[in-house]
Amino acid sequence: MDALFEIFRYQFLLKAMLAAIFTSVSCGIIGTYIVSKRMVFLSGGITHASFGGIGIGYFLGINPILGAAVFAVLTALGIELVTKKADIREDSVIGMWWSFGMALGIIFIFITPGYAPNLMSYLFGSILTVTNLDLYMMLILNVIMVLFFLTFFKTILYVSFDPEYARTYRAPVQLINYILLSLVALTIVLNIRVMGIILIISLLTIPQTIANLFTRSFRNIIFVSILIALLGCFAGLFISYRFDIPSGASIIFTLVIMFIIARIYRQLIKAWLLRKQVR
């Protein structure tokens, strides 16, 4: 009986670790794009709006993550379209979608008969209860994203840096934008199971910000932030397990501590280099 329990425990820890790896890779890559393009607020909007999809999923009795995926992609493209076509300021449009999605989610969960199970895990994440289906979906997303970035790396970089210039060269700027926006939306939704709607923005920004303290290269920010995210996830998992607190929150706590240490470290290095010059 003890042995069976050990295997069970080993299995769910293994799943959590796999989830941490998939989350770190996808958030490391797409988060670098988000931070470079200053799309953090947009990403926050997509994240919260996807709650509408979760509500609709509950109501229709389908997998809430599927509902959220459809809703998030539509939100991402919708914000881009409304901003362009209706000529309304982008941050105002984001604010509208952000709250509208949350409102839809609340309404649908309210009118769904019975108790909504796992609702809290969608809001705050729960890396220890990811299912096999979650893991498969994350794996597929990771493969697609890595292949896309490997194949089109320079084009993604150049188009993101100066879209107007790329347009004079007839590069498919709009298409690449839409694909990347969809990847942002899908990354957010599939990682909701791990970090939760309210906390996912952390993995898309904190590791990249730490990495950006030490490197200004897009490629290096990707690699370093994947490593930092991994470190943060594993350390957070350990803290969560050891002190019995929610995993999402402890992961963010770890990341912010890492940021503070990194920032102070860089300051010390700069001061030291400065002093070396006058010596």
Closest to other proteins by CB, 160 or 191: 160
Q: Whose CA is closest to 50, among 28, 66, 26, 35? A: 66
> Does 227 participate in binding other proteins (rule CB under 8 A)?
no
Could you tell me the CA-to-CA distances from 87 to 23, 25, 45, 97, 245 in Å, in that order? 35, 35, 18, 16, 45
Residue 89 in contact with other proteins, rule: CB under 8 A = no
Phi and psi (nearest 5°) for 52? -60, -45
Report the alpha-carbon angle 19-24-29, nearest 5. Answer: 135
Figure out which of the listed residues 11, 131, 174, 217 binds other proteins, where binding follows CB under 8 A: 217
Between CA 217 and CA 220 the distance in angstroms is: 5
Whether residue 131 contacts residue 23, with contact meaning beta carbons closer than 8 Å, is answered with: no
Examine residue 91 and tell whether it contacts other proteins (CB under 8 A): no
Task: Give whichever of 12 and 218 is closer to other proteins, judged by the CB atom.
Answer: 218
216 binds other proteins (CB under 8 A): yes
Please say which residue, 111 or 269, places its beta carbon nearer to other proteins: 269
Kindly state the tokens that stand for 76: 């991402």
Among 1, 2, 3, 38, the residue binding other proteins under the rule CB under 8 A is 38
Angle between helix 132-161 and 218-243 (nearest 10): 150
Minimal distance in Å, beta carbon 148 to other proteins? 11
CA–chain centroid gap for 129, Å, is: 18
For other proteins, what does the binding mask look like between residues 152 and 181, x meaning CB under 8 A?
A: x-xx-xx-xxx-xxxxxxxxx---x-----
Nearer to other proteins, 9 or 167 (CB): 167
Give the whole-angstrom CA distance, residue 223 versus residue 220.
5
DSSP alpha helix (H) spans, 169-243? 173-190, 192-195, 201-214, 218-243
Structure tokens at 154: 């320079």
Q: Which stretch binds other proteins (CB under 8 A): 43-51, 135-143, 214-222, 253-261?
A: 214-222
Q: How many residues bind other proteins (CB under 8 A)?
A: 28
Residue 77 and residue 27 in contact, taking contact as beta carbons nearer than 8 Å: no
Which residue, 129 or 155, is less far from other proteins as judged by CB? Answer: 155
String of contacts with other proteins for each residue 115-154, x by CB under 8 A: ------------------------------------xx-x
Looking at beta carbons only, is 171 or 235 nearer to other proteins?
171
- Chain residues binding other proteins by CB under 8 A are 32, 36, 38, 151-152, 154-155, 157-158, 160-162, 164-172, 176, 212, 215-218, 221
